Amino acid sequence: MAYFDFTSFEVSFQQYVKYVLGKPLDEATKKDQLNAVCYAVGKYLMDIHFDTRKRYEKNKAKQVYYLSMEFLIGRLLSNNLLNLGIFDPCARFLKKQGIDLETLVEEEQDPALGNGGLGRLAACFLDSLASLDMPGYGYGINYDYGLFRQTIVNGYQQERPDYWPNRSSPWLIRRSEEKYVLPIYGKIEERQDKNGHYKPMWTRKKLFIGRPHDIMIAGHRGRTVNRLRLFSAAASKDFDIDIFNDGDYIKAVKRKIQSESVTKILYPSDSKETGKELRFIQEYFLVACAIRDIIRKFEKQHSDFETFHDHVAIQLNDTHPALAVAELMRILVDEKKLVWETAWDVTVKTLAFTNHTLLPEALETWSVYILNKVVPRHLQIIFEINQRFIARVKERFGPDNHEMIAKMSIIQEGDEQKVRMANLAIIGSHSVNGVAKIHSDLVKKQLVPEFYSMWPEKFNNKTNGVTPRRWIVACNPELAKLITDAIGRRWIADLDLIWELEAFQNDPGFLERYGAVKQANKQALADYIRDTVSETVDPLSIFDIQAKRIHEYKRQLLNLLHIMHLYLTVKEDKKDIGPPRTFIFSGKAAPGYHTAKLIIKLIHNVAHAVNTDPAVNRQLKVIFLPDYRVSLAERLIPAADVSEQISTAGMEASGTGNMKFAMNGALTIGTLDGANIEILEQVGKENMYIFGLDVDEVAALRPNYQPKEYIEKDDRLKRVIYALRSDRFSPSEPGIFRSLYNSLMSPGDSYLNFADFIPYVAAHQAIANDYQQPEKWSTRALMNTARTGFFSSDRTIKAYADEIWGIRAQIREKDLW
């Protein structure tokens, strides 16, 4: 724990307001106060960071670098205070100044430098690395605009730019003295050096630069502070100078703007947007900056590049940074003068790759044309890698096995040649992992079986996890306090210990307190719902939440079909549907994903029908909370009774929201998909509602799927689907949902919504029944909290560290005492 020195904190705070902001203390706005506190906290972070670095250097510790186009870190103030162990004294200090810390925390803007699961996972990993005292640094991009802000107009999603104040964020340290100059465009001229060795020259290239910005990442207990390094693009003086000298001032300024535009905006994970040259340049930019930074650090302590992999591990977060394979080869061969074979050995031993999705539309390919234009030397290297690789494929599978060669080649042939980034990443890495057991199996069996048969030893699983520091301690402080009062505070560093809560499953006093925490969180969410969308919800109703990106495979539509069924049961049949229920949705649709946007509209229209109907709205409410983001997740998750994890089996790689909800005592209604399967293994089937087809059943059904059969079999489904078709939920915009109806009714609906409808309704009926026994419900919720210790990202990171990276904790527990 950091030691909180009241006086020096006060001095920092006051000096910042007076001398940096230039204001008398009593004129400081809320934002000023926030910045002043962040500044004072930042001093702690910096001091510990210097110590951490010294420790790593002294130990000559092997380092891991996590390369990711996205880091969805969320707000940092309360997290940093908690991890440093100075939250309470800081709150007391502020109170003395008449400032409420809880309110101040809400002033902080949520940095939205990620789309969803992949970016949030990267952020949890950084927290775990620091909390485990491991040398692990993040490399990413300092976008000016993060993921769009979502507003809703007449039930439709609208996107607004999200400017992330990267120039004024109190957490971001600009390293103005450091920069990397990067080549781009141009041609390769085949030359030879004086010994007659092949020496390609990258000529007529343009230059632009990457500037690093650092965010300090504090570990739990304040012993280790690592860093996340984000790069911004800028124009290089060299880039412009010739044009300026030529006198073309306007052209020079244009170039400057072009260079700076590279890191302007985070691309939404939108299949329509893939293939854009600017996105490719972003990926190159990240890789080029990161590898240079890694090499510079390596060279401070070592000189022999043949041992690079003994000191450095690099993890590729999906294929987005897969160009690292070519970039590392380029530097080792062209600049460090290693022979190809040695350079290749070092590269493969250094790199490791994580796959996060099986969806074919998300698998990256880039046209050879773009690579040739943007990074001609890298393309040349990729062709060389491919040629050597195909020779090995021929050795292994026979020289005439053209089918195998076509599948495994990095180059996809066709009208236009394309580079398959997954193949490049697999060939260039010593480890390929999926993010949940089932997903890793499918990577081997379905996605790349050929690679698996060639290199079975490369493939492994690392089931995702989430950090309990943010996802329990910070977002659910009352629950954290209850747990700590019961079993002590060591669970925060070692979540396995949380199983000790099982001892309280028959303790009525404890269960009552546990239930009261949930009730208070629900009340707080009810207040937030009132304040943001002007709806009143019954805090005693079942809070059933589906919060995640809107996507057909995640099946928000299945959830809606069930809600429509409940609505019609009350409205038409005048039947009782059990305890009152509040269904809450939150999530963004990719801007070009028409169907997903229509699903948002349908949620709103169903919500309108339900919420405005006095015959229904005491039993049922439907809420959509706009602009899903980390800080909203932090409110939703602690308040959930039921967590919806209902993707079509085989389509959700892992999910991590599922883990957060379960830890916070929500019962999952879910399919046998992603990490749900492992949650089931941990919490037990009596503490979950598992329904629907499993992966094998899905695969067997798909070719024979006949949605009509399900309608014929089930009158409830028939009524719901006819209501959708009849414009009952779109009286003023007839026909708008016709395409949703059509895709649900199509045998080609790959999400098989109807196939899981009946078991889904049955699972919800079971929930309604069980909720009426509050004590039993609380016990089962508690079992979810007690048995999800496995899903700490500390467990995940330890497995990466031992089995892939070969890095270690740099503080041993015994040294501390």
Residues belonging to the active site = 356, 548-549, 554, 656, 660
Write each residue from 646 to 665 as x if it is in contact with ligand 26V (CB under 6 A), else as -, in one continuous string: ------xxxxx---------
Q: How is residue 755 written in tokens?
A: 């196939």
Total number of residues shown for the chain: 817
Q: Which stretch binds ligand 26V (CB under 6 A): 20-28, 271-279, 509-517, 695-703?
A: 271-279
Please report, as residue ranges, which positions from 88 to 117 form the binding site for ligand 26V (by CB under 6 A). Answer: 115-117
Q: Which residue's CB is nearer to ligand 26V, number 136 or number 655?
A: 655
* Cα dist from 465 to 23, 127, 225, whole Å: 44, 11, 21
Minimum distance from residue 122 beta carbon to ligand 26V (Å): 9
Q: Which residue's CB is nearer to ligand 26V, number 288 or number 435?
A: 435
Q: Which stretch binds ligand 26V (CB under 6 A): 23-31, 171-179, 263-271, 743-751?
A: 263-271
Q: How is residue 98 written in tokens?
A: 């008449």
Among 219, 674, 692, 707, binds ligand 26V (CB under 6 A): 674
Q: How is residue 151 written in tokens?
A: 């507003």
Q: What are the two backbone dihedrals, phi and then psi, of residue 615, each rounded to the nearest 5 degrees?
A: -75, -15
Note whether 793 binds ligand 26V by CB under 6 A: no
Among 97, 109, 274, 505, binds ligand 26V (CB under 6 A): 274
Q: Which residue's CB is nearer to ligand 26V, number 622 or number 659?
A: 659
Q: What are the two backbone dihedrals, phi and then psi, of residue 461, each rounded to the nearest 5 degrees?
A: -115, 140
Q: Which residue's CB is nearer to ligand 26V, number 240 or number 652?
A: 652
Q: Which stretch binds ligand 26V (CB under 6 A): 189-197, 273-281, 475-483, 729-737?
A: 273-281
Note whether 39 binds ligand 26V by CB under 6 A: no
Angle between helices 508-533 and 774-786 (to 10 degrees): 90
For residue 254, the SS3 value is helix
Write each residue from 354 to 393 as x if it is in contact with ligand 26V (CB under 6 A), else as -, in one continuous string: --xx----x-------------------------------
Please report, as residue ranges, which positions from 300 to 359 form the binding site for ligand 26V (by CB under 6 A). Answer: 356-357
Minimum distance from residue 377 beta carbon to ligand 26V (Å): 24
Query: What angle (nearest 5°) sits at the alpha carbon of residue 649, between those of residues 648 and 655?
Result: 85
Question: Phi/psi zone of residue 627: left (φ > 0), alpha (ψ -120 to 50 degrees), beta?
Answer: left
Q: Quick one: DSSP state of residue 643?
A: E
Asked if 693 and 787 touch (Cβ cutoff 8 Å), the reply is no
Q: State which residue has the least CB distance to ligand 26V.
A: 117
Minimum distance from residue 406 beta carbon to ligand 26V (Å): 24
Q: Which residue's CB is nearer to ligand 26V, number 113 or number 326?
A: 113
Q: Which residue's CB is nearer to ligand 26V, number 363 or number 486?
A: 363
Note whether 284 binds ligand 26V by CB under 6 A: no
Q: Which residue's CB is nearer to ligand 26V, number 117 or number 222?
A: 117
Nearest CA among 313, 311, 304 for reference residue 337: 304
Amino acid type, 176: S
Minimum distance from residue 317 beta carbon to ligand 26V (Å): 9
Asked if 492 and 467 touch (Cβ cutoff 8 Å), the reply is no
User: What DSSP letter does each residue of 305-322 carry, written as one string?
Assistant: GGGHHHHEEEEEESSTTT
Alpha-carbon torsion angle 93, 99, 102, 107, nearest 10: -120
Q: What are the two backbone dihedrals, phi and then psi, of residue 90, each rounded to the nearest 5 degrees?
A: -65, -40
Q: How far apart are CA 622 and CA 608, in angstroms?
A: 8
Asked if 405 and 394 touch (Cβ cutoff 8 Å), the reply is yes
- Alpha carbon 511 to chain centroid, angstroms: 33
Among 38, 40, 121, 563, binds ligand 26V (CB under 6 A): 121
Note whether 643 binds ligand 26V by CB under 6 A: no
Question: Phi/psi zone of residue 247: left (φ > 0), alpha (ψ -120 to 50 degrees), beta?
Answer: left
Nearest CA among 526, 528, 546 for reference residue 537: 526
Question: Helix (H) and strand (E) counts for the chain?
Answer: 34, 23
Q: Which stretch binds ligand 26V (CB under 6 A): 270-278, 287-295, 330-338, 784-792?
A: 270-278
Provide the edge-to-edge strand list for the sheet that holds 689-690. 620-624, 581-586, 542-547, 642-645, 667-670, 689-690
Nearest CA among 139, 143, 151, 150 for reference residue 114: 143
Expressed in angstroms, the distance from the first to the final Cα of the chain is 13
Note whether 273 binds ligand 26V by CB under 6 A: yes
Q: Which residue's CB is nearer to ligand 26V, number 587 or number 655?
A: 655
Minimum distance from residue 435 beta carbon to ligand 26V (Å): 4
Minimum distance from residue 566 beta carbon to ligand 26V (Å): 28
Q: How far apart are CA 244 and CA 369, in angstroms?
A: 30
Q: Quick one: DSSP state of residue 266?
A: P
Minimum distance from residue 797 beta carbon to ligand 26V (Å): 14
Note whether 269 binds ligand 26V by CB under 6 A: yes
* Cα dist from 278 to 273, 274, 281, 415, 606, whole Å: 10, 10, 5, 22, 39
* Cα dist from 323 to 319, 621, 684, 745, whole Å: 8, 48, 42, 42
Minimum distance from residue 150 beta carbon to ligand 26V (Å): 17
Asked if 656 and 471 touch (Cβ cutoff 8 Å), the reply is no
Minimum distance from residue 801 beta carbon to ligand 26V (Å): 18
Minimum distance from residue 20 beta carbon to ligand 26V (Å): 37
Note whether 587 binds ligand 26V by CB under 6 A: no
Q: How far apart are CA 573 and CA 546, in angstroms?
A: 27
Minimum distance from residue 266 beta carbon to ligand 26V (Å): 8
Please report, as residue ranges, which positions from 689 to 718 form the binding site for ligand 26V (by CB under 6 A). Answer: none
Q: Which stretch binds ligand 26V (CB under 6 A): 130-138, 179-187, 267-275, 611-619?
A: 267-275
Note whether 158 binds ligand 26V by CB under 6 A: no
Q: Which residue's CB is nearer to ligand 26V, number 116 or number 170?
A: 116
Q: How far apart are CA 286 and CA 437, in angstroms?
A: 30
Count residues binding ligand 26V (CB under 6 A): 22
Note whether 267 binds ligand 26V by CB under 6 A: yes
Note whether 464 binds ligand 26V by CB under 6 A: yes
Q: Which residue's CB is nearer to ligand 26V, number 35 or number 357?
A: 357
Minimum distance from residue 291 beta carbon to ligand 26V (Å): 21
Please report where in the chains the tokens 């015959």 appear, as a residue: 615
Note whether 435 binds ligand 26V by CB under 6 A: yes
Q: What is the 3-state secondary structure (H, E, C) of 115-129?
A: CCHHHHHHHHHHHHH
Q: Which residue's CB is nearer to ligand 26V, number 42 or number 692?
A: 692
Among 72, 91, 104, 118, binds ligand 26V (CB under 6 A): 118
Q: Which residue's CB is nearer to ligand 26V, number 273 or number 535?
A: 273
Q: How far apart are CA 431 and CA 406, in angstroms?
A: 23
Applying CB under 6 A, which residues contact ligand 26V?
115-118, 121, 267, 269-270, 273-274, 279, 356-357, 362, 435, 464, 652-656, 674
